[in-house]
């Protein structure tokens, strides 16, 4: 099942830079793992914001929730999730 996920990171302004950098590093590593596994199919940065638009390919909402909650920056994110289904006018077989 495909999900369109928008994530905006809102780190506290008083968070020490070293802590923020460490969180960002572990976030990047986790994102790479999820992309390599195929669960995080697409990842785009939103220009001008500390935000992204992503497409996840998972078994359902429960798996998506489990994945999102493992992200190191999860406690600092505003997340919006929209389930997707195949459009009948799509010319692609796999919508990749």
Instruction: Give the bridge partners for 83, in sequence order.
Output: 3
Higher confidence at residue 42 or residue 91? 42
* 38-50: pLDDT as tens digits: 999 999 999 999 9
* Predicted structure pTM score: 0.90
Q: Where are the beta strands (DSSP E) in the chain?
A: 2-9, 40-45, 51-57, 77-84
Q: Which residue has the tokens 């190191």?
A: 72
Asked if residues 33 and 39 have their Cβ atoms less than 8 Å apart, the reply is no
Across the range 84-95, mean pLDDT stands at 84
Across the range 56-84, mean pLDDT stands at 97
CATH architecture assigned to 2-84? 2-Layer Sandwich (3.30)
Closest by CA to 81, choosing from 69, 93, 95, is 69
Would you list the domain boundaries of the chain? Answer: 2-84
């Amino acid at each position: 099942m495909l999900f369109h996920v928008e994530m905006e990171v809102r780190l506290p302004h008083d968070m020490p830079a070293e802590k923020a950098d460490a969180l960002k590093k572990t976030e990047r590593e986790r994102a790479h793992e999820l992309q390599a596994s195929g669960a995080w199919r697409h990842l785009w940065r939103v220009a001008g914001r500390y935000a992204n638009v992503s497409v996840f390919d998972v078994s359902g909402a429960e798996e998506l929730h489990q994945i999102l909650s493992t992200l190191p920056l999860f406690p600092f994110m505003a997340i919006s999730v929209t389930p997707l289904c195949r459009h009948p006018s799509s010319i692609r077989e796999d919508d990749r």
